[in-house]
Structure 1
């Protein structure tokens, strides 16, 4: 069985939800779709990574500097 990791990225539309303590529907949907894909295709999920860096004050452009 092959191992894989899942990477979910926050959509701009869901940024407000995170600020109010709710989980992003975008991230929930990505996790569900990718977990189902992995199961159907014989992958063992090693880890799930969530990218919501803009919400915690990290900006991609700032990280590139």
Structure 2
């Protein structure tokens, strides 16, 4: 996983947390759901990239 990808995923996760918190503060359920979805998406991407990294380490590439 490239360093840039890691930063993008963390930024997406942080943005999702902020969106979810803002939705909670303003009682906006749609925004809360979008924020939670953004976080889940970022975490899924991170997990996929971690699998790729592990595979590269095993194969020595």
User: For the superposition of Structure 1 and Structure 2, which TM-score range results when normalised by the shorter chain?
Assistant: 0.3 to 0.5
Higher relative contact order (CA 8 A, sep 6+): 1
More helix by share: 2
More strand by share: 1
TM-score by length of 1: 0.38
TM-score by length of 2: 0.40
